[in-house]
Chain A
Amino acid sequence: MSGSGRGDVHVRRYSGSARLNHWIMAISFVLLLLSGLSLFHPSLFFLSGIFGGGATVRWLHPWVGLVFAVTFLLLFVRFLPANLPERTDIAWLARLKHVLAGRDEYLPEVGKYNAGQKLVFWLQFILVPILLVTGFGLWEPGLKWAEATFSFKATMDQKRMAALLHAIAAVAAITIWIVHVYAAIWVRGTISAMTRGTVSGGWGWRHHRKWLKTEVSEGRVEKKSGTAPAE
């Protein structure tokens, strides 16, 4: 793995609090996915066993959902400035063929996030509020709270619509999540960004050159000479 110069330059990508925020959100998402799918399709009902049965899933899922929604909002605010659309995003998307082939040299230089990552960010930004609102519509204590707070009483057809939309939005969110997780695995060197908080300079050069250049020019890049970090 290690060649000449590999791993010499390390760039900080996520602070400890950003990683903590991300992982609380990620764990709650996985719990939501497992518990939600257990009630989505009969062949997946066995997943409710992880939580101690369907009755536990029924009351646990909404609370985990609230944790997810709050941590998503915090992460959204934190990552928003770096996810604003740019002109290069269109060029990047137009060359999706090269993206999928891993030919980063044919892609425009991108900042902290490429257009694909921004799409994940913005699509989840649309889906999470839908899931939150429709989730309340399926949650008896949540509906009671909504009635007491906003004197909003859902009709049966609204609850049915909530169930349908919740399922559709969840499928979309899970699909986007698969893309997100796959990209992190496929693009080698990415996961350390969320585990140790840093990426190698080469990773930055290859995938987020504009971002790397900014980090270097602003003197935020630590160069460790001599000691090679654990690979």
Chain B
Amino acid sequence: MATFQPLDVVRKSATVTAAPPAKRGVEVAKLIDVSKCIGCKACQSACLEWNNLKEPVGTNAGVYDNPHDLTPATWTLMRFTEYENPKSGNLEWLIRKDGCMHCEDPGCLKACPAPGAIVQYANGIVDFQKEHCIGCGYCEKGCPFNIPRISQVDNKAYKCTLCSDRIAIGQQPACAKVCPTHAISFGTKAEMVAHAEKSITVLKARGYDKAGLYNPPGVNGTHVMYVLHHADQPQLYANLAQTPRISPLVEAWKGVSKYAGMAVIGATALVGALHYFLKGPNEVTDHDEAEAKRLAETKK
């Protein structure tokens, strides 16, 4: 079976050696046109089936979201929002297929401490390499979209792979293949941006004057994009991040603290060594011993 090869990897977690030559291949993207989604959850089923995942039977909390959240076995989840549009007075049923956005600047990869546990391929896909994962949960903290989940069974992180195993052999992702309304499309990123433009034009003609593409620049764009009727208010769609970016806390943790920390520790050890070479040990002299003896004897 053809899968991605080492040279297809352009970025690797916790790896200080130079990345392989940055020959970015053709970047791919999945486009989710929220305006076309009917909430049938075929994508969720296809994801479970292709990836051989078994989500345990849960409980009904009176909402359509099922399960209630992403889990180690649910890599994509339809999130349903009832929105009363104050302008039109209409009740809008906003349905967003949640899952990994495959950021061009992946926070999970930045946060990961295990070398090679998270990689980015030349086509832009961000993939977890289970055999290198140590289950620390740093990827959860790095992610601006709250996507990765750690399994309580094997202590590994899981999320959407964008069906990297299917894409490697020229197939589209399972969710895109089964979507009955073509709300999910897959192709090169350029194709998908162009495809989105057409949808947005149609939406605008239908009165959604704020329709637009969700391809957030804060993470240098994503390889999963949304067409939203209310692109000015992404938070309407089950709290989709308005301006996602890697948290400054994570940037500081994985940036300045890492380098400054190593420097401080190294410098302290170096100063100690230098001090020893310059000053020599602080020895107890015979005079000190004699004084101590004298003190002890005067007391007796």
Contacts and interface: CB of A to CB of B under 8 A. Distances in A.
Interface in A181-231: 182, 185-189, 200-206, 212-213, 216-217, 219, 221, 223
A9 interface: yes
A4 B113 contact: no
A153 interface: no
> Looking at chain A's contact residues, is the secondary structure mostly helix, strand, loop, or mixed?
helix
Interface string B1-25: 0000000000000111000000000
Contact of A221 (B260, B282, B296): B296
A202 B285 contact: yes
A41 B279 contact: no
B114 interface: yes
B289 A202 contact: yes
Interface in A82-135: 100-102, 104
A53 B136 CA distance: 12
B146 interface: yes
A57 interface: yes
Interface residues of A, number: 62
B67 interface: no
Interface string B266-293: 0011001001100111111110111111
A152 interface: no
Nearest to B297: A223
A93 to B, nearest CB: 17
Contact of A186 (B261, B276, B292, B295): B276
B258 interface: yes
Contact of B249 (A3, A8, A163): A163
B163 to A, nearest CB: 27
A174 interface: yes
B289 A164 contact: no
A41 B8 CA distance: 25
A115 B100 CA distance: 54
Interface of A: 3-9, 38-43, 45, 48, 53-55, 57-59, 100-102, 104, 138, 140, 156-157, 159-161, 163-164, 167-168, 170-171, 174-175, 178-179, 182, 185-189, 200-206, 212-213, 216-217, 219, 221, 223
5 contacts: A159-B140, A163-B250, A178-B268, A202-B288, A205-B292
Interface of B: 14-16, 113-115, 134-138, 140-141, 146, 150, 155, 247, 249-250, 252-253, 257-258, 260-262, 264-265, 268-269, 272, 275-276, 279-286, 288-293, 295-297, 299-300
Q: Nearest 5 pairs between A and B by C-beta?
A: A201-B292, A202-B289, A54-B134, A202-B288, A3-B286
